[in-house]
Structure 1
Amino acid sequence: MYKDRPYVISIAGFDPSAGAGLLADIKTFEQHQAYGFGVSTAWTVQNDSEFLEIEWMEPAHIIKQLKPLVSKFDIKACKIGLIQNPGVLLEVISFLKSNNPAIKIVLDPVWKASAGYKFNNWDTGLPILKQSLIKIDLITPNLAEMQFLGGSQDVISSARAWAKYCPVLLKGGHHEQNPALDLLFDQDDFYEITPAKVSLYPKHGSGCILSSAIASNLALGLLLPAACKKAKLYIEDYLNSNPTLLGYHKA
């Protein structure tokens, strides 16, 4: 039976291996019964284990890709991944919000490729990034990203400080007894998102997929805590789908 699907968009890098970035996000949107659009922020030369080169898109070209989509479609949610620097990020977010104030925006703050390549065009610190944070609905840093972007080894304190501007999902790796535990900070509210399964195999692009699953769930009408919990179940199945770095998507 025909059923309308919400529109969701990924603004991210193009990874030819399809394990991360735009292609991985589109796979995730489809499995969540959302219709996915994709706008490229960068072209990369890589596979699942090797990152060799990147060519950034100019902000004007990113927005040029966005214009015909936002002018025609009611896009419910957006996932933003690889983006060059805070200035480009703010320009893109401001454009989205000026066209659709209700759009839900999930930011996956990619500053380092899983293969080890560092994107060095990011300035760190809350004063620089808070202009963007106040316009988004969630940021999803892992331990290393929170340490880098927050400028502190104390990731819990950094997450709490950032949560005054937007919700923060601090992904696993920060809990000695349970490294798969995620922590959601939303103003003064706090949620523990516990794993349902043991994740056996690491995957290229798992952070991209988690954030795009959350964006899909928000587009489908779930509240943020429920969207994060459901996305965690999805990523656990993805991580366990096979023993390679490239996982399989399944509903």
Structure 2
Amino acid sequence: MTTIRNVLSIAGSDPSGGAGIQADIKAFSANGVYGMAVVTALTTQNTQGVTGVELVSPDFVTRQIDAIFADIRVDAVKIGMVATAGIAMAIAAALRRHRPAHVVLDPVMIAKGGDRLLAEDAVAAMRSELLPLATMITPNIPEAAVLLGEEEVSERGAMEDAARRLTALGCRSALVKGGHMPAEDSPDVLFADGRATWFEGRRLKTANTHGTGCTLSSAIAAQLALTGDPVEAVRRAKSYVAEAIAASARLDVGSGHGPTHHFHAQW
């Protein structure tokens, strides 16, 4: 491959740099693709929490997306914070027009500090409008429960079944992340092409986990653009994020949930 892939994030802004479009572009760059961003919301936040949100209008979100696709080849799209039903529907309409090869949907609902980032009516819009367009969705256990309208699962068999049933809602593959499991390890399960693949992971004891979901989904989008293989994309992305978390103590950012070290391999 001689041409660098281009990957677009559609998400909210985190001025502290650990999550949102800032984390997405860092993860894109560290994974060897050119990153771009469409902003859906501005937030006032730091490592201790979110204190305010200013939404971008659905029309202006549409105009940003159309401007990118009118001029630039887009090899993959990552969707993060959509905030409202109107923004979700605007994104879906734009993606149906432009038809990117890969779409990774990270159903961002609650920030690491517990702040809600998705309006109630937006859940239904995400489920009906965005999920069927996704190459892969990447919910954690609570997010998977909300999308399925069920109680949270707490064991592996139920995690795998949840991933399978999420694909029945229209997405091509579903990665259910097991960080909320009551266990010493942190397994994730991908259901793709009619079969489940488990990815084992050790639970790292650190407070520096701000933006890990954003970072993982962005790394997956980058690797899908590079490989086109969902299993290989998840494998590479999980390895990258695990190393970014393990190296996070080298950073000195904030006094709450610190960020991962996106450029651990470069710095």
Structure 1-normalised TM-score? 0.90
Q: In the aligned structure 2, how far is the partner of 1:134 from the partner of 1:169?
A: 15
Q: CA, structure 1 residues 231+40, in 2 after alignment: closer, same or farther (shift >3 Å)?
A: same
1:30-41 equivalences in 2 (<5 Å): 30-41=29-40
Matched, 1:168 2:168: no
1:69-80 equivalences in 2 (<5 Å): 69-80=68-79
Superposed CA RMSD in Å reads 2.2
Where does residue 67 of structure 2 map in the other structure? 68
Q: Secondary structure at the match of 2:70?
A: helix
Q: In the aligned structure 1, how far is the partner of 2:28 from the partner of 2:126?
A: 31
Size of the alignment, in residue pairs?
248
Q: In the aligned structure 1, how far is the partner of 2:125 from the partner of 2:117?
A: 20
The AA in structure 2 aligned to 1:142 is N
Where does residue 28 of structure 1 map in the other structure? 27
Unaligned runs of 5+ in 2: 154-158, 253-257
Shift of 1:73: 1.1
C-alpha contact 1:78 1:104 (8 A) present in aligned 2 = yes
Q: Secondary structure at the match of 2:121?
A: coil
Q: In the aligned structure 2, how far is the partner of 1:8 from the partner of 1:127?
A: 24
Q: Secondary structure at the match of 2:108?
A: coil
Q: CA, structure 1 residues 102+79, in 2 after alignment: closer, same or farther (shift >3 Å)?
A: closer
1:142-157 equivalences in 2 (<5 Å): 142-155=140-153, 156=159, 157=161
C-alpha contact 1:108 1:140 (8 A) present in aligned 2 = yes
Where does residue 58 of structure 1 map in the other structure? 57
The AA in structure 1 aligned to 2:110 is K
Shift of 1:122: 3.1
Q: Identity of aligned pairs, percent?
A: 32
Where does residue 198 of structure 2 map in the other structure? 192
The one of 218, 240, 245 equivalent to 1:234 is 240
Kindly provide the CA deviation profile for residues 143-202 of structure 1, in whole angstroms up to 9, marking residues without a partner as x: 12112232212543443221122111100135444541001122531110112x552324
Q: In the aligned structure 2, how far is the partner of 1:69 from the partner of 1:138?
A: 22
Unaligned runs of 5+ in 1: none
Q: Secondary structure at the match of 1:246?
A: coil
Q: CA, structure 1 residues 204+177, in 2 after alignment: closer, same or farther (shift >3 Å)?
A: closer
C-alpha contact 2:76 2:224 (8 A) present in aligned 1 = yes
Deviates more, 1:173-182 or 1:39-48: 173-182
